[in-house]
Amino acid sequence: MTGPELKKLREHLSEALGRKLTAADMAKLCGLSAAGGAEKLRRWEVTGPTPKVAAVLRVLAMASEHYPILEKFDVFDRHDVPVRDRAARRQAFREQMRDDVRKRLA
């Protein structure tokens, strides 16, 4: 994940959650402390985050419609899930991811 991709992710998550996420909010999602986390996040928005943080953010990105549901989380396209139910289940999964992001920010 590059710095510009991280910036774009913040915009997309803000859109998905219905509120503007600050650098401090994103730092919290990355597991950084409130004190210096926002500054570190701003640096990452230029240079890109560490691989470990990028992996966490890729999972959280699934809360936004702009990002695909990662293959290991995609249990909707299995043979035992009726085709007519797949879209609703994907939407419910994204809502669950949004709730998880909100809990992390609380």
Query: Residue 26 burial by CB count (10 A; 0-12/13-18/19+): exposed, middle or buried?
Result: buried
**Exposed, middle or buried by CB within 10 Å (0-12, 13-18, 19+), for 71?**
exposed
**Residue-level pLDDT at 97:** 95
Give the pLDDT of residue 80.
Answer: 79
User: Per residue of the chain (106 residues), what is the pLDDT tens digit?
Assistant: 999 999 999 999 999 999 999 999 999 999 998 778 999 999 999 999 999 999 999 999 999 999 998 888 877 777 778 888 888 888 999 999 999 999 999 8
pLDDT for 93 equals 92
Residue type, 95: E
Question: What per-residue confidence (pLDDT) applies to 33?
Answer: 84
Give yes or no for a contact between 57 and 12, defined as CB atoms under 8 angstroms apart: no
